[in-house]
Structure 1
Amino acid sequence: MMKNTAFIFLFSVISSLVLLSCDSSQKENKDNMSSKNKASKQTGKLAYRNGGVTYEVFVQSFFDANNDGIGDLQGLTQKLDYIADLGAEAIWLMPVHPSPSYHKYDVIDYYDIHKDYGTLEDFKHFVEEAHQRNLKVILDLVINHTSDQNQWFKESIKGKDNPYRDFYIWADLDTIKEVGETKEVTGDSDNKYLWNEAPGNEEKYFGFFWKGMPDLNYDHPTVREEVYKIGKFWLTEINIDGFRLDAAKHIYPDDRIDDTVEWWIAFRNEMEKAKPDVFLVGEVWDEAKVIAPFLNGLHAIFNFDLSFTLQEALKNEDASQLLDKFITSRKLYKETRPDFYDAIFTTNHDQNRILSELDGNLEKGKLAASILLTLPGSPFIYYGEELGMLGIKPDEKIREPFLWSAKDDTGITKWIEPEYNTASTLNALDIQVADSTSIYNHYKNLIQLRKNNSILREGEIEVVKPKSKKVLCYYRILGDEKILIVHNLGKKSQKFDNELLKGEIIFKTVNKNLSKNTIPAHSSFIISK
């Protein structure tokens, strides 16, 4: 990320001054598993994060129970059996709080549910039902900023003497002129204009993402205490299991990255007081050396590097560099925090859908799943990925309705007219369930295999370098047990070392055996050694 040095320095000065002012006032394949590759020994409350799959849901698009065209919590509750049957062990809900926007990343009230989604009682019932199915619940918590319609901000704009003034970051025009009003576009923010006018105010307020999302001021002790209260409410009163923390890098500006890390350490400590086994996974778009210290405060960080390199490898049919950075990063993370978790994924709600990135090629889509679900880490799957859903930005188009049936539109949301995912472009779930070769069954088989295989869940990785750059090969190792995983990213068969291929095949993605030292096109094999 490029930095505006003058801005960052002066922003620090502003923050320090604000702080002084304030001081006074976180299946064949399954059946063929050998006894050597036995089910995971991982038990207890932490099992889901250690190699288990988390299913990301945009409630608005998932299932509509009251027939108003918008997905809701009652609908999601009705579909918990589907998510559990797929093999997921946790659900991550994109924001559900009252908000003026469809995506709800600008929160008006942290203690309530958006009326389109239901009520707080609906949410409590959802959590109870999820837990009965051994599904953990991770809630998207947006605490870098609020909505400009949040009551805190409505008070803040009333003037310098208001008790909520310093809940946000304000600066006079002379200071802003020195600081600079713009920033570079970054991976997580395409906003350029940082300072925003408020009616009746000579000063302007700071908003990293957008004028409708004013940043909170974490130099204010009361802000910190209020955010602790919010987290503890959802963990104790509602009994959720953890948070996905939006914009985790941006609590303070880039030159105060150490302060941001310290905030997350403090937040983690407070949340663990409320729920010792809480899980905190953060969004930090940056390189590994910047990410690593955050693992002292957050249990896991989303691995964007893997997402991007996986896409490029599949597009170019070149596996030669795919895992180098992944393994180097994991080593760095382990040195920083031995008990870290790596949140791996193909794409999420902020990116073009993986199958659209792969030009709709289902074989490559299956390969993406095969690679993701055989790597070490905690895989996150974006809703509809298992159907091969398509979508290209703007964001609404990568969050289209889940297509449950080709014949019956019961529950299919209608808040947006789908462009990429219709009966003519995508096989609905009911069709795919009945097709053993579908991408849905491919995902389900792999998830179930991973769920019941301790090496795939918990094992380390050792890369094997084949002669062909189109072949990706690695061992997963746990104690004295290991399995070999081979993927052919190419559209033609590839030669391979016959000695390495010896062993019992416990999973394969094509109805062929390995013969004549070749790996069939666009295929994956897991071999017990």
Structure 2
Amino acid sequence: MKEWQKETVYQIYPRSFQDSNGDGIGDINGIISRLDYLQKLGIGLVWLTPMYVSPGNDNGYDIADYYQIDPVFGTMADFEHLLKEAHKRDIKIIMDMVLNHTSDQNPWFKEALKSKNNPYHDFYIWRDPLDGHEPNNWVSKFSGSAWKYVPELDQYYLHLYDVTMPDLNWRNEELRKEIFTMLQFWAKRGIDGFRLDVINNISKTKEMPNDTFKTPLDDGRNFYTNGPHVHEYIHEMYEKVFGPNNFITVGELSSTPISEAVKYTNPKRQELSMAFTFHHVKVDYTNGKKWTLGHYKLTDLTSILSEWQVKMDQQGGWNALFWNNHDQPRAISRFTDDDKYRNQSAKLLAMVEFGLKGTPYIYQGDEIAMKNAYFTDIKQYNDHESINAYNELINNGVDKALAIKILQQKSRENARLPMQWDSTKNYGFTTGEPWLKPLHHDDYSVEKVLKMKDNVFDFYRALIFIRKHKEVLIDGDYKLLNPEDNSVYSYERFNEKRKILVMANFTAQEQKRTIPAGFDLVLGNYGGLQLDDETVTMRPYEALMLEKR
């Protein structure tokens, strides 16, 4: 068992966490000012989304300079101060890194545009026109074609994401050397690992044929997701950077089956520490389509979670556990009740996550039950993906009110609202005008929540403590109980010495369930439990963790 497997990760979206200079954008010094808060919560690792120099077309995931901190966040000296202060508090720092693509403002791409013979031209993926059109029918994740024509070169470059984000050509050995040198640069600064954005897309099939479009997933990803050389590229990174620096690494692995996720994370293969996968947060996609007004069945959710729990464990993989991140709307608004049963819902989601096997991640605001933005006008959105999706919905005949309702449910902008610290203007996030301003008035803040009896923050603290001190929650096996139950999610964690039972009522109605004899309450989101012999009456959104004596 590795020490990091006992820790809890806290994800910070720096732009929205804490502003220290009144410009409306969160920054490094703002993060430093909140390290005591994270220490109090019990955090062992912090994941920072990108803070490199960037034009900001994808909120920092379009990197223009891999070696510099964007001045909007501070300086390299500020970053090194952050590392020092975090380490003083036994908090490790994981940086986000984007290696599938760069910004079109990156010096590499500017050189690539100069000539087909420029050495940097082959750092990117170019193709000649095919019968006067795009080289294939692949679709960008941000809508439209995945190809952009450059008349001066009479070639197209591939961009799986925004048109300003050209994909890198990992077949080029010189590119890989440049990347390893850059990763070592950050290792020397003293960081503790990387979260690797869309890392499973870095290897494309050489032929890059048309996709079939038989399903919503046939958009080209069949020829670049978990591509032919991805594992050897990541193993090479491990040998050159991750292993020698004893790094903790997590790969974002969208559209990846368990069989592949195991390869990425089995320690014997020397690739990554753990895997972010997204099947469970796509459970409310209608026929696989994200931009729809979706609904979910609990049995579908528990089936997905359980399959990943069992099969990853059996084959030596390791899960990164999460409900929320900067790319997902708030789970409390999607899967539970963010109004009448807000506190109970936040605690329920926390308990379900922390009872599972893997490394739990808290996204900023989870610990105070932050909810979706519920924006009512497309002008309130900054996110390119959301704006493009809205325009596509309108062009396809969806009326504006429904399109906005879909964004209220599915847009990742919901997770990017500034952190709510106190009851002052802008929740204490900034003294200026915040870069993204919420529409709804929400009186929840760190200040208010910490004053509540039996609050969400302290519930998270308790779970972090319990998980660290009950090894069964780290190394124990997993078993789904009552797989056909569409109201209560029940599962066991067990090893040779201990057995833990987790039960969570995902409805607003009371549910009666049986608890086997000999179990005592470890933690519940209502305090005690309503037990009559072996029958428990579970209140709306009640969650229980019990242990066999």
Distance in 2, Cα, partners of 1:308 & 1:183: 21
1:326 corresponds to 2:345: no
Alpha-carbon distance in 2 for matches of 1:318, 1:213: 36
Pair 247,457 (structure 1): closer, same or farther in 2 beyond 3 Å: same
459, 467, 492: which one pairs with 1:475? 492
Q: Does 1:208 align with 2:160?
A: yes
With 467-476 and 246-255 compared, the bigger mean Cα shift is at 467-476
The correspondence of residues 124-203 of structure 1 with structure 2, limited to 5 A, is 124-174=80-130, 177=133, 179-180=135-136, 182-184=137-139, 189-198=141-150, 200-203=152-155
TM-score by length of 2: 0.80
What is the rounded CA distance, in whole Å, between the counterparts of 2:485 and 2:499 in structure 1? 23
Shift of 1:373: 1.4
Aligned-pair distance for 1:302? Answer: 0.8
How far off is 1:403 after superposition? 1.1
TM-score, normalised with respect to structure 1: 0.82
Quick one: which of 275, 283, 302 aligns to 2:276?
302
Which sections of structure 2, spanning at least 5 residues, go unmatched? 205-221, 287-293, 373-407
Partner of residue 239, structure 1: 190
Match of 1:116 in 2: 72
Amino acid in structure 2 at the alignment position of 1:158: K
Instruction: Kindly indicate whether the alpha-carbon contact (under 8 Å) linking 1:52 and 1:88 is maintained by their aligned counterparts in 2.
Output: yes
User: Is the contact made by 1:65 and 1:411 (CA closer than 8 Å) also made in structure 2?
Assistant: no
Instruction: Give the alignment of 1:7-86 within 5 angstroms.
Output: 46-48=2-4, 50-86=5-41
C-alpha displacement at 1:301, in angstroms?
Answer: 1.1
Structure with bigger RCO (C-alpha 8 Å, 6+ apart):
1
Deviations 1:155-192 (A, max 9, x none): 11001121211111122223774732x3246xxx2333
Residues 265 and 332 (structure 1), Cα distance of their counterparts in 2 relative to 1, 3 Å cut: farther
Q: Percent identity?
A: 29
Q: Give, in angstroms, the shift of residue 289 of structure 1.
A: 3.3
State the SS of the aligned residue for 2:68.
coil
Partner of 2:384: none
Cα root mean square deviation, aligned? 2.6
Deviation track 1:478-514 (CA, whole Å, cap 9, x = no partner) reads 332222222222323322225x153321212113333
Paired with 2:134 and 2:437, the residues of 1 have a C-alpha distance of 46
Q: Give the superposition deviation at 1:298.
A: 2.0
Match of 1:452 among 469, 473, 478: 469
**Paired residue for 1:251?**
202
Quote the offset at 1:407 in angstroms: 3.2
| Other structure's SS at 1:233 match | helix
Q: 1:453 & 1:64 partners in 2: Cα distance?
A: 37
Q: C-alpha offsets along residues 15-60 of structure 1, whole Å, 9 cap, x if unaligned?
A: xxxxxxxxxxxxxxxxxxxxxxxxxxx6xxx423x14211111111
Distance 2:240 2:357 in 1: 29
Q: Which residue of 2 aligns with 1:376?
A: 357
SS at match of 2:319: strand
Give deviations 1:258-312, integer Å, cap 9, x for gaps: 312221121122223431x211111111132343333342221113123345999
Matching of residue 504 in structure 1 with residue 473 in structure 2? no
Q: Is the 8 A contact 1:317 1:490 kept in 2?
A: no
Q: Distance in 2 between matches of 1:418 and 1:359?
A: 23
Q: Does 1:364 align with 2:341?
A: no
Pairing 1:353–2:330 present: yes
CA–CA distance in structure 1, aligned partners of residues 413 and 507 of structure 2? 33
Task: Tell whether the 8 Å contact from 2:94 to 2:194 is kept in structure 1 after alignment.
Answer: yes
CA–CA distance in structure 2, aligned partners of residues 359 and 481 of structure 1? 33
Give the letter aligned to residue 345 of structure 1.
F
Residue identity in the other structure for 2:537: I
C-alpha change, 1:463 and 1:331, in structure 2 (3 Å) is closer
Decide whether the 8 Å contact of 1:87 with 1:451 is kept in 2.
no
Q: Distance in 1 between matches of 2:329 and 2:274?
A: 23
Poorly superposed stretches of 4+, deviation over 6 Å: none
The residue type paired with residue 488 of structure 2 is V
Deviations 1:69-118 (A, max 9, x none): 21111110111111121122110000010000061001111111000111
Q: Distance in 1 between matches of 2:240 and 2:264?
A: 16
Aligned partner of 1:280 in structure 2 is 249
State the partner residue of 1:513.
Answer: 529
Distance 2:285 2:144 in 1: 28
| 2:52 partner SS | coil
- State whether residues 420 and 428 of structure 2, in contact with CA within 8 Å, keep that contact through their aligned partners in structure 1: no
Distance in structure 2 (CA, Å) of the matches to 1:310 and 1:482: 32
Q: For residues 390 and 495 of structure 1, do their structure 2 counterparts lie closer, same or farther at Cα, with a shift above 3 Å needed? A: closer
What is the letter of the counterpart of residue 279 of structure 1?
I
SS at match of 1:274: coil
Contact 1:156–1:168 under 8 Å retained in 2 = yes
Note closer, same or farther for the CA distance 1:426–1:441 as it changes in structure 2 (3 Å cut): farther
C-alpha contact (below 8 Å) 1:476/1:483 kept by paired residues:
yes
Do the aligned partners of residues 98 and 316 (structure 1) sit closer, same or farther apart at CA in structure 2, a change above 3 Å counting?
closer
What letter is aligned with 1:373?
A: F
Equivalent residue number for residue 11 of structure 1: none
Pair 1:467–1:179, CA change in 2 (3 A)? closer
